[in-house]
Structure 1
Amino acid sequence: MAVSSLPSEGFRPLILQGFRGSTSTVESWTRCGHSIYFSINGSVASFTPSEREGLRAIPISRLLVESNSPNSPVGVQYPMTPVFLGVTIDMIARIRGVPFEEICRATYINGLAAFQALLSPSRPYARR
């Protein structure tokens, strides 16, 4: 789906799961005016320098963290599971240069907002 083809308002949030993108990709998505959330998983351990810059460019109000990426180890020898969520959050915080607690707080608040809006019966789904 092209960013330019998204409706500008009235639709449920869009979660970009397993996001790995550059600063320009983040800017393209945030400019579209839609409620876009960027979800980061354990693959953050292997982000390229460009993807790290992209992670820093994500507005804190649009950042989510995910634990369901079994094919994305987080710098440990085991597959990503919820038990390693703190490791992922720690990596995100280090890359962004902010405290661990800030990422925890922001992603908790963002998760509530995104999923409450997704479950709202008054907002239609975007058409494909």
Structure 2
Amino acid sequence: MRQEAGFTLLEALVALAVFSTAAVGLISLNTNSVRISRDLGDRVLARQVAENIAVDTLTDPAKQRPGTSSGEETQRQQTYVWERIVVPAGRDGLIQVDIRVRPAGSDRVAGHVSFLHVAEGAP
């Protein structure tokens, strides 16, 4: 019997199966990384929108009145829908402000800011 160098067909198929399994795992990992990165980007921009609305609320006494208001803001060509809820906080002149921001077309809150503030003109 002569010894031949090389791989048998079965060895090549097993090596191909192992390589394919590893490649599918890496592709799946890459897909998840892209999704998580996009979600994180949405959250950062939504938080920035919420903070901008919070500053607007703090600097405009008319926006410190109890009630609910909403609107849309665009950050980096992405549209976000925000909702501001102002309620009395139990002490004279103290208000609680909640701001929730969602990407347009989504029900998922991506950014949220909540704070207490002494309303303008309060005793």
TM-score tier by shorter-chain length is: under 0.3
Structure with higher helix content: 1
- When normalised by structure 2's length, the TM-score is 0.20
Structure with higher strand content: 2
- When normalised by structure 1's length, the TM-score is 0.20
Greater RCO between the two (CA within 8 Å, min separation 6)? 1
